[in-house]
Amino acid sequence: MNNSLHDLDRLKAEILNLLNTDSPEPSAEDSSSDLIWQALATIAEIGKSETDRLDWKLIVGSLQDMQRAIKVFHPYRHVRKISIFGSSRTQPHEPEYIQAQQFAEAITTRGFMVLTGAGNGIMSAGNQGAGCDQSFGLNIELPFEQDSNIHIQACDRLIEFKYFFTRKLFFVRESDAIVLFPGGFGTLDEFFECLVLAQTGRSNPTPIVLIDHPDGDFWQSWDIQIQKYLLDRNLVSQFDRSLYRITDQIEVACQIISDFYKIYHSCRRVEDLLVIRLNSEISDLHLDKLNYQFADILVKDRITRSPALEQEQQDIEIRSLPRLRLYFDFSSFGRLHELILAINHTG
């Protein structure tokens, strides 16, 4: 094993030289230098432990996946994006393909970009509808089924992933909404992972929209099974069904997503507080109604207005936005989703 991995002082000096700084402490201009130091120091610690070549192949492969994705997504970090999932086997003449194409075309006119898995079927329809200029493709290396589709092949926002878990990470990280058309194991896997992350608060609140064609019952039948085998047996909360919506109308799906960000912008946990950033202020009467309707998810006190907290000051682009703060129970995420919908409902 390389002796430099055991010599942390020497490694620290080399890292600091790479960072072009005298200290791993973050500066006002670069608040990430401490995190870069932690990442590199963690790699050094792994090198000191019992590892083999397969461990390092996993580490290097996942880091390379992330490096490629971060490079592609960074210029678009302030643009809202929609992930489209569905079967790779859906053919261009089928109604689900046509709907996916129409949805992608419609949602980009509202200022969103589109993410797909870069394959055929629904993924191809999404990229075709959005067009190369508004598309991302997150392709995965598979021994079958997964050549990138013709609508994303020439696009500079096509990313090749080695691992499913890093690919899923960026689908969740970069998505401001999830839209699903009928699909097989892969589609349902992606859906349930997104649903679990939303239910447990491990992802940011986002609308999840399930789209059937007008004569279809794929998602309606699925929802009936959820009610019969999960909700009726008290295996999920009744509020968990607020985490997704089902429709067979493209315009309704687009409106659900646009309305989600009508007033609500984003949220962040700061210690025991949940801070909800808004695109615009709400009235005192509206705030009073929210406190009445959602007292059940407050650990203490009320929902109140707030400026940007000290921990948010580095978020230059959004620190001037108005905010609400609340002592959320951090377990009722279906109800939190309902709170966001109520914030957006100004009527």
Of 1-15, 163-177, 205-219, give the lowest mean pLDDT range: 1-15
pLDDT band at 29; cut points 50, 70, 90: very low
- Say what the pLDDT of residue 11 is: 63
Q: In this model, does residue 30 exceed pLDDT 80?
A: no
The mean pLDDT of 313-337, rounded to a whole number, is 94
E-state strands within the chain: 81-85, 113-116, 135-140, 158-161, 177-180, 208-211, 244-247, 264-270, 273-278, 298-306, 323-328
The mean pLDDT of 89-106, rounded to a whole number, is 97
Q: In this model, does residue 7 exceed pLDDT 80?
A: no
- Say what the pLDDT of residue 116 is: 98
Domain 264-344, classified CATH 3.30.1360, yes or no: yes
The span from the CA of 240 to the CA of 153, in Å, is 38
- Say what the pLDDT of residue 20 is: 61
Give, in order, the Cα–Cα distances in Å from 83 to each of 15, 45, 168: 37, 36, 11
The span from the CA of 347 to the CA of 223, in Å, is 29
- Say what the pLDDT of residue 309 is: 93
Could you tell me which of 218, 332, 224, 343 has the C-alpha nearest to residue 276? 343
Q: CA 241 from chain center: how many Å?
A: 19
- Beta-ladder partners of 304: 325
Could you tell me which of 342, 327, 344 has the C-alpha nearest to residue 279? 344
- 112: tokens are 């969103």
The span from the CA of 255 to the CA of 333, in Å, is 22
Q: In the chain, count H helices and then E strands.
A: 11, 11
| 298-306: strand order across its sheet | 264-270, 273-278, 323-328, 298-306
Q: In this model, does residue 45 exceed pLDDT 70?
A: yes
Q: In this model, does residue 92 exceed pLDDT 90?
A: yes
Of 33-42, 236-245, 329-338, give the lowest mean pLDDT range: 33-42
**pLDDT tens-digit profile of 272-284?**
999 999 999 999 9
The span from the CA of 107 to the CA of 130, in Å, is 8
Q: CA 265 from chain center: how many Å?
A: 14
pLDDT band at 127; cut points 50, 70, 90: very high
Question: 75-260 maps to which CATH number?
Answer: 3.40.50.450
Q: Where are the domains of the chain?
A: 3-74, 75-260, 264-344
The mean pLDDT of 237-248, rounded to a whole number, is 96
- Say what the pLDDT of residue 27 is: 46
Using the 8-state DSSP alphabet, how is residue 207 labeled?
A: -
- Say what the pLDDT of residue 314 is: 82
Coil/strand/helix, residue 180: strand
Strand 273-278 with 323-328, pairing: antiparallel
CB 201 within 8 A of CB 275: no
DSSP symbols for 271-317: TTEEEEEESS---HHHHHHHHHHTGGGEEEEEEEEE---GGGTT-TT
Please, what is the average pLDDT of the chain?
91
**pLDDT tens-digit profile of 144-186?**
655 799 999 989 999 999 999 999 999 999 999 999 999 999 9
The span from the CA of 199 to the CA of 175, in Å, is 16
pTM of the predicted protein model: 0.90
The span from the CA of 37 to the CA of 223, in Å, is 46
Q: Which residue has the higher pLDDT, 32 or 46?
A: 46
The mean pLDDT of 237-266, rounded to a whole number, is 97
